[in-house]
Structure 1
């Protein structure tokens, strides 16, 4: 049976789950929810970089991204940072939608599937 590696699991979720070289992240949100969408997005990318590094991979190996924005009008601001963060020619399959998030101060949430 293949081993499943769970990163920082709690009763509700894990920060990431690794199985057969695939890494599935939690929905990552900013640590400081008082920030604007640009600063929240930068913080999310920093957290994702660290999480992927823990699993021996990086943002060149993203297969799929799910992005939730509190306000779809923030999509251009998000995409400016996204295109600077994702290496050229390495864009994953992706969905980006407007959503009601768990805390009204959350402006963006990102969930990834990557591989090693």
Structure 2
């Protein structure tokens, strides 16, 4: 039986779950929720870099991304940073929707599925 590795688990969720060469992240939000959309997105992408590195992978190995925006009109800002962050030709399957997030100050939340 393959081992399931859980990163920073708590009673509700784990920051990431690794299984059989796949890494599933939690939804990542900015640390500073008072920042604007651009700063929140940059922080989320930075946190994802750190989390993927911790699991021995990176943004060239993303299979799927799920993105929730407080305001879908912010999609252009997200896409500007997203495309700069992704290596050329490495875009994953992706969904991006407007949603009511857990805290009204949250502008963006991103969850990834990657492989090692």
Offset, 1:98: 0.2
Compute the TM-score of the two structures, normalised by the length of structure 2.
Answer: 0.99
The match for 2:13 is: 13
1:42 to 2:12 alignment: no
1:59 to 2:71 alignment: no
The match for 2:26 is: 26
Offset, 1:18: 0.1
Offset, 1:26: 0.1
The count of residues paired between Structure 1 and Structure 2 equals 116
Deviations 1:26-51 (A, max 9, x none): 00000000000000000001100000
Offset, 1:10: 0.4
Unaligned ranges ≥5, structure 2: none
Compute the TM-score of the two structures, normalised by the length of structure 1.
Answer: 0.99
The DSSP-based 3-state class of the residue aligned with 1:63 is: strand
Structure 1 segments (4+ residues) deviating >4 Å: none
Unaligned ranges ≥5, structure 1: none
Partners of 1:49 and 1:77 lie apart in 2 by 19
Offset, 1:23: 0.2
